[in-house]
Structure 1
Amino acid sequence: MKLINKSMLTVLITLSTASIYYAQETQDTVKSKSKDIEEVILQGVTDIAKDRKTPVAASTIKAAQIIERLGNQELTEILNTTPSVYATKSGGGFGDGGITMRGFESRNIAVMVNGMPVNDMEGGSVYYSNWTGLADVTSFVQTQRGLGSSKLGIASVGGTINFITRSADMRKGGVVRLGVGNDDYLKTSFAYNTGKTDKGWSSSFLMSRTAGGTYVENTEFEAYAYYFALGWEPNKKHNFQFTLTSSPQWHNQRTFAPTIANYINFNPDKDGTPYRQYNSDFGYKTGANGERYAIANRANYYAKPVMMLNWDFNMSEKSKLSTVLYMSNGRGGGTGDLGRVANKSLTGFYDTTGHFDYDAVFAANQAVNLSNPAAPANSTLIRRASVNSHDWYGILANFQHKLNDNWNFSIGTDDRYYYGYHYQVASDLYGASGYKENKNLNVAPYVVSNVYDYKKLSWNPFGGSTAPLTDQIGYSNDGEVLWYSGFAQVEYTKNNLSAFVQGSVSNQSYQRIDNFVIDGVTKQQGQTVNRKTGFQNLFGYNVKGGANYNINDNHNVFANIGYYSKQPFMNSVFPSNLQVVNPTLTNEKIFSAEVGYGFRSSKLNANVNLYRTEWKDRWLRRSMQFDTGVPGSPTINGYAEISGITQVHMGVEVDAVYKPFQFLEFQGMLSYGDYQYRGNASGSTFDDNNNPITIAGAGANSTLYLDRVKVGGSSSNSIPQVTASLGTTVRPVKDLNVYGTWRYVGKLYSSIDVATFSNIANQERGVLQLPDFDLFDIGASYKIRLKNTTQYFTIGANVYNLFDTTYIADGATNIFGSDVITGNTDPDKGKTYEQAGRMYNGVATANRVFFGFGRTWAANLSFNF
């Protein structure tokens, strides 16, 4: 898993800063005789879609529902009842979940906080474990599917997710919360708002701690969150907001998807069923007193403070300027194994329970004499920490002007500077005297013995960003990104018609810096390279527009269309983790069109959307495990790089809310998609040391036969093409809510496997389809009011996966039942998996998957005052 640094869900949990955008925009917007223009949405930078006005497909989840139903789930899972969204826990570690929208993965979904993009500047990734406090400070979260209404030049291929947080000038009051759940989950939080004083000052803060484990073995975690907002409104023309927030955390992980066979083989009950909690990424060591304790191989740790200053300037009744300055310094990374001992990697030390035998690892390491100058490099096996820190600074400004009652325009800029630090250090020597490094070409091979504990976080946002060069191992490279962009928008509203046209241009400038390279001496791919590549400038743009027409009070229709020339991510500019620029670099092209219909009445609200998105020249990197085919040889960790991908995503979405009585409400959703690759692509495979490999037909510059194949995910993510849900809420008495939800996932396709599609014979059968599944959740909450009407207790409880359904949530491989077993030492060699009876629910047991969690629960108690 890539490090949390790449999360940037922070670069702004910016939180309130722009939250002011929303709070102020709804209160002090530029005055006009036409209220419609103010409501069309595109206010400030929040770009919140307004019902029956903004011509995009949108869904909104309010704070009350988040607090009531989220419990100990992943934050994005609250969106699973909205159309075309599929959020899972992936490996199951705290905050490690994944999400897709309309078949597009998270790096191509624009995640925003108060309208400001927070996707990582290098790779687009977002990791939610950084933001455990986000659920507590969110007023509502809105998804906009498709290119959306945001004016910024952001990666909204599948859609946007916009978290709107509370502002400092909320009414005076506070709340204390306590949450508990399965596997020792415990969350405590305290928040308070001072309210606004007569002189315009206001403040708000939150502190919380969350700890425990998840449903999966050895996934303990500990996370803190703090949030502080200070506001000052000296007069009606000016409003200032300062925000500081962070959520430092560490958590053990399960990043490797085990085979179905291992889930079954390592079930302690030996009853032939999969042990869904099984985690192959940790093991046991015997202590001095004979007790066994667990050691995690995979873990993540991160602290990402964000500071922000927002200034709203009401220049006149017709003009307004909104400006945000922000800074985000992230510190942390993730752990894994590095090196070999006794000619074995860590996977060569599994015990009979499917976990690492650390007693054997320690013994083998202790037998290696690194003080001998002849000792080879990488001759010990250690746990490394892959550091992925960064410094990020930005400014976002938006000027709005109202021409008249019908026309409004805005123009602005979004400028950012980012510097990322990427290297490895030792996290645990596993009994060795050190680790010998030889990849740093600037110095002779050296032995590293300093250890960096992943549970000791850096709480200082201004702390050091790098360890000494002589402590760095494996690799050491930096990424520098300059982003300049401008955007403009014109809006028109008259009577029942509202429309907008908007466009943006951006220049993304990337530079890669390799600290292990010698200027003018080191050669890569036949080229002499330097430590710094120099900046590579990539120009991109987008243009989009749409219109909504309200036929009458009940019916409305809308349409939108857009084109986006999207710059590729940094790892496609410098592929294979080298200093060589991609000679075939090209922008990705996205064309999207959508039409929709809405119905509104006192009892029924319903929406229907039809969409088509075409994505050309896509570039993709995915982590992989390669089987060498050699008896007794461990798998090879590596990655594949795929270029020239074209995808077409089409579908229909229906969602509705029906309220026949005041005490009864039904919510429903159905999404049906058809996501296919068009044409073929080319792929190359490499090991973790960037050496080209040829495994099972997948090799450098191989053709991938993907035409008409269903779209699968990358890494261990899966993509469904059918989702549905039906929920009901009953309020039998005042302040009591009882609710339940049924959710269906179908046409679920595993991730794309390079080794599979380099063989043209596999094109027709396509990507492996995983079994459909149904899930049921239930819950209840009750509010106990005190004599003081501003004070009350709330108690609630939720049960997720009520019937303890066993299901596969994500798949990493494409092995079919008709495939022939090839292992030389396998007793079933030559048979198909079906012939050998090695199938589970229609899926070959050699497939690597993540099972969804079984039955889990959460309960909470809060006191508002």
Structure 2
Amino acid sequence: MKNLFLFLTLLVLSVGVNAQQNQIQQDSTSREKLDEVLVKAVRVDADSPITHSNVDKEELAKRNLGQDMPILLNYLPSVVTTSDAGAGIGYTGIRVRGTDATRVNVTINGIPYNDPESQGTFWVNLGDFASSTESLQLQRGVGTSTNGSGAFGASLNLLTDAFSKEAFAEISNSFGSFNTRKHTVKISTGLLNDHFEISGRFSKIDSDGYVDRAFTDLKSYFLQGIYKDGNTLIKALTFGNKEYTYQSWFGLTAEQLQQDRRQNPYTYDNETDNYWQDHYQLHWNQRLDNNWSTNIGLNYTKGKGYFEQFKEDESAAGFANLIEDDSDVIVRRWLDNDFYVINMNTTYKKNAVEIISGLSYSVYTGDHYGEVIWGSDLAPNTNIRDRYYEGDATKNDFSVFSKATFKLSEAITGFVDIQGRFVSYKTNGINSDLVSFITDAEFSFFNPKVGLTYQANQNNSFYTSYARANREPNRDDFKNGVTEHEILNDIELGWRHNTNKVALSTNLYYMFYQNQLVLTGGLDDVGSPLRATSGKSYRLGIEADASIQFCNSFSTSTNVAVSSNKNKEFKASIDGALVNLGDTNISFSPDLIIGNALNFFPAENLQLSLLSKYVGEQYMGNVDSEFSKLDSYFVNDLNVNYEIKPKKLFKSIMLSALVNNIFNKEYVSNGYYYTYDDTWSDANAVTTIEGAGYYPQATTNFLVGATLRF
């Protein structure tokens, strides 16, 4: 509580001190877009000492033909993406600097999106969200203070559609391989009486998937009403999605991969995931004068759904004796949760000083339970839909921060960011394995960040920063006995060079951890990755991102990430003995990642892009076993966009085509690795047996689409 008092005091002092300077004069604050204030507290400026990439609506639209958001971000620095169904639609994932999705903090208009319990991000619940995204920023490393679970490798913040001054209607349709279809309708009234706008989007996405029967059926919506004048912006919006997908998270063995890389081991007709999620947000941005602005954000998210699964020859004890031994059974495992958030931020900006202070408070409640919906041999006095396990969870998350940017000299800008975060997590009940799960944990974190930017001249700047992050275990970690929090220290050094023809950004980073929870490579019984504490570990790397305009008709964008990712003095149980393996590679952390785009503009409104991605070999476990190695891969996509501007009826017609994996590469981007001890083959010895699974990605496939704007 002392830390809480300290931060609240700093918050009040920062407001009080600067209020004394409130002699109004024209300042850049008065020219900022009110829409951007929604994410100002979690974003950074172009010259800040934080390593980041920005993507705008126009860039997203070029490849937005139905694939999920992670796939659209595949060509950003240090990013690796994957798809369970192989085609980039449905359950997709993103890793940044080798860290998985549970460690990438995602916010939408400043509201946390990561599931508070699992800390994961499920893009399958945001169907066609790129069509409602105005811009996004990916910060690599710890980044600046954000809301929700701490960023332990990256943070991704999305800003939804800005208001439109003019009325419009838009119809988008795309079709492609694996019976993929996307249908989107967008409308806007434009500003009515210069103050009001109502807009919306409705989307339907279907795909059979590259993997057999790994279909995806997504229905989503986005509705928004705004009021604005010169100093006020009020946004009320709701968006949601209903997903229906066939399971493909089990992957394939090496033998199955060789036999038929498109096969799916699941055979039950309704081995499906079914989930509904609706979000309601209210944002009030107020510019008080040329120096002061405020933002209040409210959020309520309702999520509910289940996955259905067939299990063969189960034991009665495993189902609370609802069935007889050796009964076949069909179960539904449910999640039913509610998530409430309030964010409050105040920004003061005058001349070269900007101070942003704020707080965020969220409450999550979730029920977990399982139902037997069929059994070949039910026990006496039992009924269909009897629950064989149930439990609940509550998580409270409060954070308060204050960050300042200020001039130390004509060429040097300072950055200070301090955050206090206070988390409580409680569970009660039993898990699906019928083991009692009772947790009552509290954490208090202090997360400081400092940085300097040196503007050497008009074209060159250099920056350095230090950031510290702390992070609590997630639900699965607690179930597996992990109670200690993780600590990350992140040091960044960077150089930015900008001219009319060249934009270059390079940076060196060193991220060193204590109690880092690394992926073991294994999966639990619902396909979620398992983690284990690795003690001390580090990630050391260099990233370079360059865009060059050679001439009006040709440009290139290239990024390279070279890194070393190591567990220090890693210990593992092998053949019945605990062995110190020394320094080992951290799982799912390739040493080399390259992205490249060659852009050709042969005619007005026509763009052709060759997109290339190289991902080096990586281990799926932490013991450097050759059995756990994923081979490197090099994949190329071709993207074509042509815009027609008719004189009548339509404002524009955008034609798009995307050919993925044009050289028909058979590759695997993700998998899992596990071990178990054989104690029965030889009664006098323990032998560690290794196993692995693989997620094959699609060979050559295509998507074509047209967007008609009225």
Report the alpha carbon displacement of residue 804 of structure 1 after superposing the two structures with TM: 0.8
Distance across 1 between alignment mates of 2:237 and 2:426: 31
Q: What is the match of residue 740 of structure 1?
A: 610
Q: What is the match of residue 327 of structure 2?
A: 380
Query: Over aligned residues, Cα RMSD in angstroms?
Result: 3.7
SS of the aligned residue for 1:150 comes to coil
Change (3 A) 1:410 1:726: closer
SS of the aligned residue for 2:369 comes to strand
Distance across 2 between alignment mates of 1:540 and 1:214: 43
Change (3 A) 1:170 1:139: farther
Distance across 2 between alignment mates of 1:92 and 1:388: 26
Larger radius of gyration: 1
Task: Verify the 8 A CA contact 1:560 1:593 in the aligned structure 2.
Answer: yes
Change (3 A) 1:396 1:446: farther
Give matches, 1:775-794, under 5 Å: 775-788=635-648, 791-794=651-654
Q: What is the match of residue 570 of structure 2?
A: 680
Distance across 2 between alignment mates of 1:554 and 1:374: 72
Give matches, 1:465-484, under 5 Å: 471-473=386-388, 475-484=389-398
Report the alpha carbon displacement of residue 327 of structure 1 after superposing the two structures with TM: 0.4
Distance across 2 between alignment mates of 1:638 and 1:782: 41
Report the alpha carbon displacement of residue 411 of structure 1 after superposing the two structures with TM: 1.8
Q: Deviations for 1:618-654, whole angstroms, at most 9, x for unmatched residues? A: 346768479xxxxxxxx99999663353320010011
Distance across 2 between alignment mates of 1:516 and 1:116: 29
Change (3 A) 1:557 1:679: same
Counterpart check, 1:252 vs 2:246? yes
Counterpart check, 1:188 vs 2:188? no
Counterpart check, 1:389 vs 2:336? yes
Give matches, 1:714-863, under 5 Å: 718-752=588-622, 757=623, 768-788=628-648, 791-813=651-673, 847-863=692-708
Task: Verify the 8 A CA contact 1:45 1:398 in the aligned structure 2.
Answer: no
Change (3 A) 1:636 1:238: closer
Task: Verify the 8 A CA contact 1:72 1:181 in the aligned structure 2.
Answer: no
Counterpart check, 1:509 vs 2:409? no
Q: What is the match of residue 447 of structure 2?
A: 542
Q: Deviations for 1:178-204, whole angstroms, at most 9, x for unmatched residues? A: 010111111111001111122611111
Q: What is the match of residue 492 of structure 2?
A: 594
Report the alpha carbon displacement of residue 33 of structure 1 after superposing the two structures with TM: 4.4
* TM-score when normalising by structure 1: 0.72
Distance across 2 between alignment mates of 1:264 and 1:401: 61
Correspondence for 2:457 among 537, 552, 555: 552
Report the alpha carbon displacement of residue 247 of structure 1 after superposing the two structures with TM: 1.0
SS of the aligned residue for 2:603 comes to coil
Q: What is the match of residue 382 of structure 2?
A: 447
Q: Deviations for 1:261-312, whole angstroms, at most 9, x for unmatched residues? A: 12223xxxxxxxxx221111225xxxxxxxxxxx143x21111111111112
Change (3 A) 1:87 1:32: farther
Distance across 2 between alignment mates of 1:823 and 1:723: 43
Q: What is the match of residue 629 of structure 1?
A: none
Residue type matched to 1:863 in 2?
A: L
SS of the aligned residue for 1:248 comes to strand
Q: What is the match of residue 16 of structure 2?
A: none
SS of the aligned residue for 1:317 comes to coil
Distance across 2 between alignment mates of 1:263 and 1:769: 15
Q: What is the match of residue 159 of structure 1?
A: 154
SS of the aligned residue for 1:614 comes to strand
SS of the aligned residue for 1:125 comes to coil
Task: Verify the 8 A CA contact 1:39 1:50 in the aligned structure 2.
Answer: no
Q: What is the match of residue 106 of structure 1?
A: 101
How many positions carry a matched residue from both structures? 680
Change (3 A) 1:31 1:739: farther
Report the alpha carbon displacement of residue 435 of structure 1 after superposing the two structures with TM: 4.3
SS of the aligned residue for 1:55 comes to coil
Q: Deviations for 1:130-168, whole angstroms, at most 9, x for unmatched residues? A: 001311111222211011123446421111112221134
Q: What is the match of residue 505 of structure 2?
A: 607
SS of the aligned residue for 2:124 comes to helix
Q: Deviations for 1:309-350, whole angstroms, at most 9, x for unmatched residues? A: 11122233322221011100101132333462699x9xxxxx
Change (3 A) 1:820 1:225: closer
Report the alpha carbon displacement of residue 724 of structure 1 after superposing the two structures with TM: 0.8
* TM-score when normalising by structure 2: 0.87
Correspondence for 2:401 among 487, 490, 502: 487
Q: Deviations for 1:189-223, whole angstroms, at most 9, x for unmatched residues? A: 10011111226111110011111311110012211
Q: What is the match of residue 167 of structure 2?
A: 172
Give matches, 1:281-296, under 5 Å: 281-283=266-268, 295-296=269-270
Among the aligned pairs, what percent are the same residue? 18
Distance across 2 between alignment mates of 1:643 and 1:50: 32
Report the alpha carbon displacement of residue 856 of structure 1 after superposing the two structures with TM: 1.2
Distance across 2 between alignment mates of 1:767 and 1:446: 48
Distance across 1 between alignment mates of 2:447 and 2:367: 30
Q: What is the match of residue 241 of structure 1?
A: 235
Q: What is the match of residue 760 of structure 1?
A: none
Distance across 1 between alignment mates of 2:674 and 2:315: 32
Report the alpha carbon displacement of residue 382 of structure 1 after superposing the two structures with TM: 2.1
Residue type matched to 1:313 in 2?
A: Q
SS of the aligned residue for 1:263 comes to helix
Correspondence for 1:124 among 113, 119, 122: 119
Counterpart check, 1:331 vs 2:191? no
Task: Verify the 8 A CA contact 1:34 1:406 in the aligned structure 2.
Answer: no
Q: What is the match of residue 642 of structure 1?
A: 532
Counterpart check, 1:426 vs 2:372? yes
Residue type matched to 2:423 in 1?
A: Q
Q: What is the match of residue 293 of structure 2?
A: 320
Residue type matched to 1:484 in 2?
A: F
SS of the aligned residue for 2:40 comes to coil
Task: Verify the 8 A CA contact 1:616 1:645 in the aligned structure 2.
Answer: yes
Q: Deviations for 1:680-731, whole angstroms, at most 9, x for unmatched residues? A: 3578xxxxxxxxxxxx857xxx85745311011xxxxx33221112221111
SS of the aligned residue for 2:248 comes to coil
Change (3 A) 1:300 1:516: closer
Q: What is the match of residue 68 of structure 1?
A: 62
Greater Cα offset, 742-751 or 383-392: 742-751
What runs of 5+ residues in structure 2 fail to find an aligned partner? Answer: 1-22, 683-688
Change (3 A) 1:129 1:376: closer
Q: Deviations for 1:500-557, whole angstroms, at most 9, x for unmatched residues? A: 211111211111121699xxxxx97xxxx8x975x43211121102122221121111
What runs of 5+ residues in structure 1 fail to find an aligned partner? Answer: 1-29, 266-274, 284-294, 346-369, 437-444, 451-470, 518-522, 577-581, 627-634, 684-695, 713-717, 758-762, 826-832, 834-843
Task: Verify the 8 A CA contact 1:115 1:150 in the aligned structure 2.
Answer: no
Change (3 A) 1:36 1:673: farther
Report the alpha carbon displacement of residue 91 of structure 1 after superposing the two structures with TM: 4.9
SS of the aligned residue for 2:183 comes to strand
Distance across 1 between alignment mates of 2:241 and 2:552: 40
Residue type matched to 2:343 in 1?
A: L
Residue type matched to 2:422 in 1?
A: N
Change (3 A) 1:408 1:796: closer
Counterpart check, 1:707 vs 2:550? no
Report the alpha carbon displacement of residue 769 of structure 1 after superposing the two structures with TM: 3.0
Distance across 2 between alignment mates of 1:244 and 1:563: 34
Distance across 2 between alignment mates of 1:551 and 1:704: 51
Task: Verify the 8 A CA contact 1:709 1:766 in the aligned structure 2.
Answer: no
Task: Verify the 8 A CA contact 1:800 1:855 in the aligned structure 2.
Answer: yes
Task: Verify the 8 A CA contact 1:808 1:852 in the aligned structure 2.
Answer: yes
